[in-house]
Each structure stands twice: as structure tokens, then as C-alpha cells.
Structure 1
Amino acid sequence: MRRKLAEKIKQEFSGFKDVSIRSFFGGFSLNSESTMFGWVDQKNFYLRAHPTYRSLFIDLGMQPLNLVFDGSNKLLDYYKVGDDLLTDRKKLHDIVKIVIEYAKQDQNEKLAKKQNRLKALPNMTVSLEKLMISVDITDIQSFKRIGYLETYYRIRHKNPKLSLNILFGLYGALSGQHMALLSQELKKEIKLAYQEFLQTKQHID
């Protein structure tokens, strides 16, 4: 029964790009190019909300989706499509077009943020990432701007027990190399570069 309704909703939006349905939370997600923009349960169809147009959903009298999951209620940012909107196909399709646009925009922003996360770099652990964030090096862009020498200097002030392996790891993170692949000769150059960096720091101070 649930699948039948989901297939019917999918057919309704077959004119949109690459529309598909998948099992999701006891119902079916409705997707465009793998981006979820709606959800279908046994009887109802819900659309994904966004701060830009959520007020429109509320004005239309659409009710938020409230799922019971693991014994507790989950109020999700999806709103039920009422009968009036279901019968006004042009208005419904215009709204769905906006919903898909913002759903994809959100997905792209999340992907960009994930790709810019320090943890995405070689040699990075969660603890090292947290340590870097504590000294205002919050993402890959700020790490590149500040450099591995200054980064090591800052986090070593936070944690004086940090080994030189962290310095090598930071170098490798920026150069796209695993620390284990760095040659002994290169490690000597990195240590020398840090010693020169410290001397410059002391001179400036």
C-alpha cells in the first residue's frame, strides 16, 4: 500500500530530473538526482522545508511531520501536502521545483563543508583536528593560509608534549602525503625549517 502511493507520487513528478523513491524510516524518500526532497508514508506526502519558504508551508496550513522513532517523537522539517495543494498541480509543481532547488543547495553546501574539513586531509585524527580548531585553525583553507610551521607552533603551546611526528604529519597533510612515506632526508629538512621558524619567531618577539 505504501509503495503504491509512493509510486503514484513519483509518477506525478516524473517531469523533474531523475526522480526516484527509496525505503526510508518506514516509508519512502522522494529524490531528485539522489537529493531527498519529500517523504511518503502510508497515507500522506510530505515536502522538505527550508527557512526561505517555510512560512509559505505554514500559510498553506501544512502540518509538520512528527515521526515516532525508537519510542520517541521526532519532529522533522517536512510538511504534509494537503488535498487542496495536491489538486492544484501547477502550484504544487512550482513549489516542488523550489523545494528541490534548495534541497540540492543544502546538500552542496554540506558537501563543500565536509570537503573543507581538516579531518579530510592525510594524517589527521579527530583529536588533532580539535586541537587545531582550539587555536583558530578551523578548516583546510585556514590551515593552508597559516602553514604547517605556525600550526605546529600554536598547538605545541597548547600541548608541549606533542612529538615531532605531529610536525611531520602536518607537513604531509598539506602536501597530500602520508607521514610514513616521508623520507628521513625530508624529515631532517622539516625539522630544520621549524628550527629556523622558531629563531625568526624569537627575533620578532
Structure 2
Amino acid sequence: MKKRSYARIHQSKECLSPLGDISYRSLFGGYSLTVENVVFAMVSEGELYLRASEQSEVYFVEKASESLVYQKRGRAIALNYYHVDEALWSDREKLLQLSTDALYSARREKSRLKAQQRLKDLPNLTHSLEMMLWEVGIADVRTLHAYGAKRSWIKLRHLKKGLGVRVLLALAGAICGVHEAALPAATRRELVEWGHLYAKRQPR
């Protein structure tokens, strides 16, 4: 299978060379294709998948193209990448156009995200906690503020039941922009009492 994937990577680099210098690396059990560190396509099990853009999504949906599916903890997660079939490989002009759209869209998205503050940049929030928040649908600072510390903590506990009140305090501090130890004593006490009471009420 690796041989097939490497052959497809070589073919992609050759056909899509007008996009620039294309690099690849392992990702999600396959390989990402990048131009200047911007991911615009994936190769998985010997097949090429293009990142969806506003322009290309219409084309791929009309063609009923398959999405790239990634297995995580036994769950199938459909990624926002569409399969390039043999008909599209035969139409090099269309393939290049869709690939260009994918690259431009990925660049815009990367610039937009770069301008936003990452969750892990907030006080108390580690990379692993950021990943957990993403898994429960809290992917940015604005969403975290909208949910608030208590609701965000409850969502995290649905993912990991043993999560303690220390994480609740960390979330509250992150929202306030301070280290959890700097939270007002009354706020800390109220959160700890509420957290313990909530945990007791939940079935084991």
C-alpha cells in the first residue's frame, strides 16, 4: 500500500507542479501534500483527496465523490477532503483548477486561524486540554466564552468522566484571563462546591 501511495504522491507532484514546490509528510494514517506548509490535499491508500473549497465542493457533491474517512478510537470521522477519481485524473486542466482552489482556500483559512488566539494560548490551557475541547465542539476562544466554565466542563466530563474540579477552575481562569490560583476566593469556593455537587449527582 505504501508503494501505491508513493506512486500517487509522485504523480500528484508531477501534475500539480504549477502550484509550487509540493512536499509531503505522514498524517492521519496517510500523507498530506503541502505548498509552503499549507495542506491542500491528502494521499491515503494510494488515492488522492483534495481539500474542499467553496468552489470545489459543488463539483464534488454533484459527482457524489467520496470523502476521506479517518478512523479515530474506533470511530469513523469524515474529513473535508474529496476523492479524485480516474475521470478527474484524465482532465488535467480541471484537476489543476480544483487543486488551485483547494490551496487558496487552505491559505485563507490558515491566515484566518493565525489571526485568532488559540485556546492553548489562554492561561491554564494545555495542548491536551485544547484537543479535548476541540473534541466536544469548543474550537475557539469565542465559543469557550459563550459556553462558560461550567457548561464547558460538563461537556468535557461527557468525554472523560473522571475530570476533576481543577479543570473547572482552569477553564474559569482561562475565561477571565488569569491563572486559576489568581481567581477570587469566593469564585473558587463556589466553583469547587458546585463541581463536587455535580460530580456526586452523576451516575458512576
**Scaled by the length of structure 1, what TM-score is found?**
0.57
Contact 1:16 1:32 (C-alpha < 8 Å) held by counterparts:
yes
| Partner Cα separation in structure 2 for residue 160 and residue 79 of structure 1 | 48
Contact 2:55 2:101 (C-alpha < 8 Å) held by counterparts:
no
Contact 1:31 1:37 (C-alpha < 8 Å) held by counterparts:
yes
**Runs of at least 5 residues in structure 1 that lack an aligned partner in the other structure:** 134-154, 162-205
| Partner Cα separation in structure 2 for residue 10 and residue 24 of structure 1 | 17
**Runs of at least 5 residues in structure 2 that lack an aligned partner in the other structure:** 126-169, 190-204
Q: CA deviation at 1:8?
A: 1.8
Matched, 1:43 2:41: no
C-alpha distance 160-8 of structure 1, shift in aligned 2 (>3 A): closer
For 1:94-109, list aligned pairs within 5 A.
Answer: 94-109=97-112
| Partner Cα separation in structure 2 for residue 129 and residue 69 of structure 1 | 28
> Sequence identity, in percent?
24
Root mean square deviation, CA, Å: 2.8
Matched, 1:17 2:20: yes
| Partner Cα separation in structure 2 for residue 62 and residue 160 of structure 1 | 52
C-alpha distance 132-69 of structure 1, shift in aligned 2 (>3 A): closer
The one-letter code sitting in structure 1 at the alignment partner of 2:121 is K
| Partner Cα separation in structure 2 for residue 73 and residue 114 of structure 1 | 29
The count of residues paired between Structure 1 and Structure 2 equals 137
The structure whose RCO (Cα within 8 Å, separation 6+) is larger is 2
Which residue matches 1:178?
none
C-alpha distance 71-131 of structure 1, shift in aligned 2 (>3 A): same
**Whose radius of gyration is greater, 1 or 2?**
1
C-alpha distance 113-52 of structure 1, shift in aligned 2 (>3 A): farther
Contact 2:56 2:98 (C-alpha < 8 Å) held by counterparts:
no
Matched, 1:65 2:110: no
**Scaled by the length of structure 2, what TM-score is found?**
0.57
Q: CA deviation at 1:29?
A: 0.7
Q: CA deviation at 1:132?
A: 5.0
Contact 1:118 1:129 (C-alpha < 8 Å) held by counterparts:
no
C-alpha distance 118-61 of structure 1, shift in aligned 2 (>3 A): closer
The Cα offsets for residues 93-135 of structure 1, whole Å up to 9 and x where unpaired, read as 11111110000111111111027x7936xxx4444331259xx
| Partner Cα separation in structure 1 for residue 103 and residue 117 of structure 2 | 21
